[in-house]
Amino acid sequence: MPKFQAPKGMRDILPEDQVYWEKIKQVVKNLAKDYGFGFLETPILEEVDLFIKGTGQYTDIVEKEMYSLRTKGGDQLTLRPEFTPAVIRAYLENGLSRLPHPVKLFSLGPIFRYERKQKGRYRQSYQANFEVIGEKDPILDAQLIQLFFSISKDLGLKNLITQINSIGCSRCRPNYRRMLVSFYRSKKKHLCSDCQKRAQRNLLRLLDCKELKCIKIAENVPQIIDHLCDDCHSHFRSVLEYLDEMEIPYILNPHLVRGLDYYTKTVFEIWPDDEEGRQIALAGGGRYDGLIKLLGGKDMSGVGFAIGLDRMINLIQERSIKINTRTKPIIFLIQLGELGKKKSLKLFEELRRSGLGVASSFSRNTMQAQLKRADKMGARFALILGQKEALDETIIIRDMNSSSQETVPLSKVIAKIKKRLKK
């Protein structure tokens, strides 16, 4: 056992896994751009109060999961447990409300939650987060879900399903809440201890508790979609129609509530559509029509979602999906002898700047070892700079497929390679 280990629930991402991370970030960035999102980076630390107010005081995230600290100056900060309140803060603080709306922002980075350790659940995990601020049209809810499916498609991930629900708004939810209170009145003592607390402060959460006895009780609960106001009802119907139109797979899940205070109307999660994926949502989000005002902005709508990148990558690996981002070098530079070695450093720089894609293995000294490496990396050409070539200001171009060799002046080598590549 090494003397020091990464903090519990946190992990190193090793070079061998970086191809997956590079690929997913690249796909997310490309598609975010296609769908009109601007890239926003926010600090990893934020004021604790932002999440108490934004995410909600009685949510699991705020009650149990934040990594909070007090700075030397006495500020109460926390490692962000999610993006949305931070993005809205940045939107308001930087005057982005002056831009034409909707304002579409996406972010990439770690979030921190002090969660119980479980498969696919980390205390530091990575999210791609998307927010659309200032638009209440249901087409945007559907388009965000479509964006997730486009990202998944580009990663080769299939068999995924959207779970979707509407949890109403400040007009219809109080009425539904009253129905829940009366439904649970006689059943309180049969709930798990968490739910007994939730029954007082975060009633909707009773619907998605994972404890068997609470699931059983929730089976007979009145469903919120039967009690939506006209506005929420027609909004939800439109979202579903758009999903149908785009042939996006979904199921209605009347128990999906998402657990955070700010959601209104549409809530959704996207899951692998198979048995073993049951505990692992890949993405989740929804509409938050009251949050911007709550954080000090105008009374305007918003909708957003976050993708869990760790889980996406785990699924890509579990399903053995090939990810091809490692570009093969075109050239492998081989150096032999003292003079060849000396000159190769400068040449490597010139080749690198030419944009041709160059690799080398300066610490290996034999021709055989370097050729083997060139072959393994899949280089098109090996350039051989030996003692003789270094003295003559020449270099050998070796075609790695045919093994044919040609000696050319050193000053012409880049032009020669480019010419051969054109053929």
Residue choice 127, 162, 253, 301 for contact with ligand AMP (CB under 6 A): 127
C-alpha 264/C-alpha 258 separation (Å) is 10
Q: Which helix (H) or strand (E) holds 408?
A: strand 405-409
125 counts as binding ligand AMP under rule CB under 6 A: yes
Closest distance to ligand AMP from the beta carbon of 357 (Å): 35
Closest distance to ligand AMP from the beta carbon of 278 (Å): 13
- CB nearer to ligand AMP: pick between 319 and 326: 319
Closest distance to ligand AMP from the beta carbon of 163 (Å): 11
308 counts as binding ligand AMP under rule CB under 6 A: yes
Residues 383-412 interacting with ligand AMP (rule: CB under 6 A): none
Scan for tokens 């939506």, then name that residue. Answer: 228
149 counts as binding ligand AMP under rule CB under 6 A: no
Q: Which amino acid is at 214?
A: C
88 counts as binding ligand AMP under rule CB under 6 A: no
The CA–CA distances, whole Å, from 33 to 128, 146, 346, 351 equal 13, 14, 38, 32
Residue choice 53, 89, 104, 113 for contact with ligand AMP (CB under 6 A): 113
Residue choice 29, 101, 121, 233 for contact with ligand AMP (CB under 6 A): 121
Q: 302, 287 in Cβ contact below 8 A?
A: yes
C-alpha 6/C-alpha 416 separation (Å) is 50
Residue choice 24, 145, 218, 306 for contact with ligand AMP (CB under 6 A): 306
Phi, psi of 62 (to 5 degrees): -80, -40
Size of the site for ligand AMP (CB under 6 A): 16
145 counts as binding ligand AMP under rule CB under 6 A: no
- Whose CB is nearest to ligand AMP? 308
- CB nearer to ligand AMP: pick between 310 and 389: 310
268 counts as binding ligand AMP under rule CB under 6 A: no
DSSP for 165-225 reads: EE---TTTHHHHHHHHHHHHHTTGGGS-HHHHHHHHH-GGGGGG--SHHHHHHHTTSPPGG
Q: 151, 27 in Cβ contact below 8 A?
A: yes
Q: What is the CA 362 to chain-centroid distance, rounded? A: 37
Residue choice 80, 187, 311, 380 for contact with ligand AMP (CB under 6 A): 311
283 counts as binding ligand AMP under rule CB under 6 A: yes
Q: 302, 88 in Cβ contact below 8 A?
A: yes
Query: Residue 44, Cβ neighbours under 10 Å: how many?
Result: 14
Of the ranges 24-32, 118-126, 199-207, 345-353, which one interacts with ligand AMP (CB under 6 A)?
118-126
Question: In the complex, which residues of this chain contact ligand AMP (CB under 6 A)?
Answer: 82, 113, 115, 120-122, 125, 127, 281-284, 306, 308, 310-311
